[in-house]
């Protein structure tokens, strides 16, 4: 009745309705549009990486009869024998028409640079075969591999000097004999880095990343959760705790390379820990991850309803009993979610690892936390820096693997959240 006008409310509301609905529709369209843009970029990114990377998961193999000459492979010297010579002799026997020195050298390009290793592994596994001729699948040379997988055309490969006319002819002849196949490249997942693309793998990098995660998790989770419990539940609220809170929030915004520099100064220069080791890398990543876990854990603790605390205190539980019997179990899924997200960020981090020397060329797969190691993102960085096209392909493949890990970790976080969501 305090409205002077006589127009009924219904009329006023009705008049404003079209405008309101229009506004709502416009907002929905903006929203849908932004989603489309996001997915477009995601699609471009994924399709690019996939087109480039999928080939690295496959390799071209050639089946050749190899005579395991007992004069070259001595029983007491299986590991040190000259397998390169064994292979080149067998190749000559298989292609008797090749006579000139030049042609002989080119013939070796038919097979990959690491075939000696493959043959050595075979002989170590089957020492009884020495002295006989065996048919073995061997990885093809990089040029042939690229042509066979359709990365480059034959003309381009010949122009670039990756293969010669003669080699190509031999390859086609082998192909028509059924001696060529394309198969899953398991070596990519098991071997360490190498100078030859066909032998290079992410095995070492995966192990390095795994060690990093272990160190990071076991350091940052207990410390982060402990700090969060103390700050949120025990510490009296004061100006000091406010300052600590603000600074923990600030820490999450610090560029990761700064953490790398801190690690370099403290862990390497002061504590003299070994360079390039997953231990130091993990320490640095922990520095980065702890604030993330503290913040996630604090908000998880905050979201536990006060009624649960009151219930526990009401029956006479002490403060610590209340926290550990009731509050922490309810906050734990949230804490784990935060930890997983923090770890997913850490596993993709490159810059801080560069600072503590985890960019080394590491062939051996690390066995201990102190061994020099590399990590997946660093391996990607190293490979994408190489001029050789075959290495870029490997980098793309490594990116696929890394993204797969990230998706797996984020899914785990979502799963945890969904599973334990609002049980109270």
Partner 1 sequence: MKNFIAKFINTSALSRDNSYCYQDVSVFLSDTSQLKSKEPFSLPESSKKPCIVCRNVNVFYKNKQAINDVSLDIYRREVLAIIGASGCGKSTFIRCLNRMNDTIEGCRVTGQILFDGIDIHSKDMDVVLLRARVGMVFQKPNPFPKSIYENVAYGPKIHGLAQSKRELDEIVEVSLRKAGLWDEVKDRLSHSGLSLSGGQQQRLCIARTIAVNPEVILMDEPCSALDPIATARIEELMAELSQEYAIVIVTHSLQQAARVSHRTAFFHLGSLIEIGPTEEIFTRPSKKLTEDYITGRFG
- Whichever of 264 and 323 has its CB closer to partner 1, that residue is 323
Judged by beta carbon, residue 246 or residue 311, the one nearer partner 1 is 311
C-beta closer to partner 1: residue 100 or 238: 238
The smaller minimum CB distance to partner 1, of residues 264 and 331, is found at: 331
Q: How far is the CB of 1 from partner 1 (least distance, A)?
A: 25
Q: What are 59's strand-pairing partners?
A: 183
Q: How far apart are alpha carbons 112 and 118 in whole angstroms?
A: 10
Contact between residue 197 and residue 394 where contact means Cβ atoms under 8 Å apart: yes
CA distance 270 to 276: 15
**List of residues contacting partner 1 (CB under 8 A):** 237, 305, 307-318, 321, 325-326, 330, 423-424
Nearer CB in complex with partner 1: 72/313:
313
The CB-of-319 to partner 1 minimum distance in angstroms stands at: 9
Nearer to partner 1, 275 or 309 (CB): 309
Q: Is 186 helix (H, G, I), strand (E, B) or coil?
A: coil
Least distance from partner 1 to the Cβ atom of residue 301, Å: 15
Contact (Cβ atoms closer than 8 angstroms) between residue 360 and residue 374: yes
- CB 350 to partner 1: min, Å: 42
Of the two residues 279 and 327, which places its CB atom closer to partner 1 in the complex?
A: 327
Provide the greatest CA pair distance for the chain: 113
- Rounded to a whole number of angstroms, the minimum distance from the CB of residue 420 to partner 1 is 10
Q: Which is nearer to partner 1, 313 or 412 (CB)?
A: 313
- Hey, is 181 helix, strand or coil? strand
Q: Which two tokens stand for residue 230?
A: 């103390």
What crossing angle do the helices spanning 9-53 and 389-420 adopt, rounded to 10°?
A: 140
- To partner 1, the closest distance from the beta carbon of 315 in angstroms equals 4
CA-CA distance, 120 to 221, in Å (whole number)?
44
CA distance 191 to 388: 19
Q: Minimal CA–CA distance to 332: which of 221, 244, 237?
A: 221
Minimum distance of partner 1 from residue 324's CB (angstroms):
11
Q: Are 157 and 143 in contact (CB under 8 A)?
A: yes
Q: Could you tell me the smallest distance in angstroms from the CB atom of residue 259 to partner 1?
A: 34
Residue position matching structure tokens 């076991």: 218
What value, to the nearest 5°, has the Cα angle with vertex 359 and ends 203 and 222? 75
């Amino acid at each position: 009745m305090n409205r002077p006008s006589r127009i009924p409310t219904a009329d006023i509301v009705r008049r404003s309705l079209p405008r309101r609905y229009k506004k709502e529709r416009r907002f929905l369209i903006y929203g849908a549009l932004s989603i489309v843009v996001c997915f477009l970029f995601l699609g471009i990114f994924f399709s690019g990486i996939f087109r480039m990377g999928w080939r690295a998961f496959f390799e071209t193999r050639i089946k050749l009869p190899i005579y395991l000459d007992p004069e070259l492979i001595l029983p007491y010297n299986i590991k040190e024998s000259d397998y390169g010579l064994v292979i080149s002799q067998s190749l000559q026997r298989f292609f008797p028409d090749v006579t000139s020195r030049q042609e002989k050298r080119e013939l070796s390009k038919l097979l990959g640079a690491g075939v000696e290793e493959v043959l050595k592994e075979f002989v170590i596994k089957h020492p009884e075969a020495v002295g006989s001729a065996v048919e073995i699948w061997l990885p093809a040379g990089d040029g042939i591999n690229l042509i066979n997988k359709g990365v480059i055309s034959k003309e381009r490969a010949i122009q670039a000097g990756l293969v010669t006319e003669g080699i190509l002819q031999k390859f086609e002849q082998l192909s028509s004999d059924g001696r060529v196949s394309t198969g899953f490249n398991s070596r990519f997942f098991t071997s360490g880095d190498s100078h030859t693309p066909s032998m290079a793998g992410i095995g070492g990098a995966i192990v390095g990343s795994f060690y990093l995660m272990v160190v990071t998790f076991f350091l940052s989770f207990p410390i982060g959760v402990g700090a969060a419990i103390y700050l949120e539940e025990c510490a009296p609220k004061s100006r000091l705790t406010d300052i600590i809170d603000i600074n923990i929030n600030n820490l999450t915004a610090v560029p990761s390379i700064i953490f790398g520099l801190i690690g370099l100064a403290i862990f390497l220069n002061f504590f003299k820990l070994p360079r390039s080791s997953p231990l130091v890398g993990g320490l640095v990543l922990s520095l980065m991850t702890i604030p993330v876990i503290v913040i996630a854990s604090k908000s998880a603790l905050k979201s536990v309803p006060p009624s649960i605390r009151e219930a526990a205190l009401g029956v006479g539980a002490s403060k610590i009993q209340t926290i550990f019997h009731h509050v922490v179990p309810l906050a734990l899924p949230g804490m784990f979610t935060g930890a997983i997200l923090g770890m997913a960020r850490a596993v993709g981090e490159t810059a801080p690892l560069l600072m503590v020397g985890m960019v080394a060329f590491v062939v051996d797969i690390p066995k201990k936390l102190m061994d020099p190691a590399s990590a997946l993102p660093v391996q990607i960085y190293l490979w994408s820096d190489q001029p050789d096209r075959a290495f870029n392909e490997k980098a793309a493949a490594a990116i696929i693997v890394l993204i797969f890990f990230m998706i797996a970790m984020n899914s785990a976080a979502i799963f945890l959240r969904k599973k334990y969501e609002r049980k109270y």
